[in-house]
Structures are given as C-alpha cells and as structure tokens.
Amino acid sequence: MLWNGDKTKMSGFKNAAGKPVLLKIVAAIQKNKDYLGEVDGLIGDGDHGMNMNKGFTMFAGEIAGKEISFSDGLDELGNLLFSKIGGSMGPIYGTVFMGMAEAGSDLDGIDTAGLAKMFGAGLEGLQGIVEAKVGDKTLVDTLSPAFDALKTAAACGADFKSALAAMKTAAEKGRDSTKDLVAKFGRSSRLGERSRGVLDAGACSCCIILSAIADGIAEQLS
C-alpha cells in the first residue's frame, strides 16, 4: 500500500518498485511460449510464441541486476520489441508498451485510475498504427475490454485488487470471444471464414500479459 502525507492508506503500488511485475510478465510469456506457437500455427505461421519469448527474454537480460521502475521498464521493453523483433507483433506490442510507459512516467504511485490511464494510452497508440477494433479478431479484443473494466472500476471507486480481478476477467472473455470471429488483419485474414473457430494468438498473448500484470501488482499490494 501507498500512504499519502497524513498517513492514510491509498490503494496502489509504487512505480519505482515495479520490477517484480515486469519479471512476472517475462515469466508468463516464457511459460506459454509453446502454447502461443500452437495457437498461432492453426491459422498463422506459428512463430508468435518464439518471437514473443525471444523479445521478453532479451528484455529480462537487459534489466537483470539493475533497478528499474514499472513505467521505465515498459518503455525499455517497448523499444526493444519495436526495434529488434520481426513480424507484426514487435511493432504492435512495442507501440502498446511505449504508450503505456509515457502515460505512467509521471506517476509515483499507480492505482486503478493510473493503470487505466496507461492501458488507454497503449490502446490509443495501437489504434493509431492499426485500424483494428473490437470484433476484428486481434489483441484489441483483449486489451479494449480490459481497459474498459479498469476505467469502470476507477469510476466506481472499487478497491485496486477488485479492479485487477475485473480486468483479468474482461481480458479472458475478450480473448475467448476471438474464437467465434473472422480475422480481419494479418496473415489469418486471408482465410476468411476458415479463421473462425480458432483463438487469435495476439489476443491470447495479450491476455497472458495482462493477467501477469494483474497478478504481479496484486502481490505488491499484499
């Protein structure tokens, strides 16, 4: 928990103490490398898990042995993915993470509203380079409802742990919704109706990342 000047509790965690959350994301991607490759291989080229694992593992090596804040770490991760990971997902995730980092750079403590602000900036950045919307069978189907859940929780004054749980649930439902959608972007879009019936790999990796963020932050709050 954070404390304000008169020692009353504030729901949030310290941005400067966010490295464990970053490492939680790395571990989640590494653990799910094969799963993401399998999902991607059903309607794509099957390299999503390999590329994600490569980028996140490189990032873990770069931050090993140094202190780094949550927002600075997201910026470093985004830059690395954008510049060093091939395919479409490097620039896509790079843009999301750099947008989140910029929105959180001035936050000493990150609470529900602050995290919602960061998610919103990441989503806005993504939609600035890819015209995908909810229903197009992309990671937007995961990220957008997760952002909406945080925004709603902040407006209702929900405690941070409850907001994180709601965000995870929304992300999971968004991921699952892609199974019944037809792909509108990427290689899988060439399949048309044949892309229906399979989860989108980007939506799956986004759900893994958002769930790891939620779990990592929740651990900081306990």
- Encode pLDDT of 170-187 as tens digits: 999 999 999 999 888 776
Confidence at residue 198, expressed as pLDDT on a 0 to 100 scale: 92
Q: Helices marked H in the chain — which ranges?
A: 19-31, 33-43, 48-63, 70-84, 89-104, 112-129, 140-156, 160-177, 201-221
- CA nearest to 143, candidates 174, 121, 99: 174
Structure tokens at 4: 């304000």
pLDDT in tens, 119-131: 999 999 999 998 8
Structure confidence at residue 11 (pLDDT): 60
Write down the pLDDT at residue 86.
73
Q: Indicate the pTM of the whole model.
A: 0.93
DSSP 158-206: --HHHHHHHHHHHHHHHHHHGGGSPP-SSGGGGGGGGGTTS--HHHHHH
Which residues in the chain come in under a pLDDT of 70? 1-11, 187, 189-192, 222
| Token duo for residue 174 | 């968004």
pLDDT reported for residue 43: 82
